Structure 1
């Protein structure tokens, strides 16, 4: 099995676990990604959030609106640019963020169990490099360009 398939199996497994565990909080599929990024970047705008998660604006907007309806995040009009809505966690969202953050830390420890400190550091460096490489292709395709393969 090649590296990307292994990464895919890990990502799908963790996503599936999270979706099952977060169901009791009525946090639907994948919404925790948005919640965490907004918690880490208070005042982020939708476009930045979508680029960070690598989703199109329509998908991101739908997820954000659902989180607003669930009273986990709130929108504020930017004083600098009235077209921009700044995204923040509500008190309920902050509580949920803490739960999701604990789950993330736990999952990280499980995944990296048995790795030495230097292996963890190298693993993260290699993943960053792969993420940057794929991110460049994502930007190209998003602009309508074709990849050559």
Structure 2
């Protein structure tokens, strides 16, 4: 029987100054990535940055398409690139910045499932930092807490 995980603990910071230097840097890189997003239809620019266990930081952004289902979110753009090019590096921290909203914006369902896949495959949590235009940061300790009734490889076992 699987234990259901829920977001029960998270931290909220009113600005970046309250974070550690590596976390500030990660968020700054995600902001820069968001500025380069291709979002001509929604005008909703999202950037993401991931800290790998070797200390390298990679970034990505959302890429829209006139055929809406063809677009890809910043998180999946980044995680796919990271895993394709650094398959043996664990993903330690992930920052997601939204430039066009004052609200705290959380990853969509597809991105939550993707985050969870990488988290479970590496047997180590991925700490998530959600950053909005006002500078507020919500820190979530693990991707699994974003998707309590998640689907994983154990779900495929008969």
TM-score interval, normalised by the smaller of the two chains: under 0.3
Q: Which has the higher helix share?
A: 1
Q: Which has the higher strand share?
A: 2
Larger radius of gyration: 1
Higher relative contact order (CA 8 A, sep 6+): 2
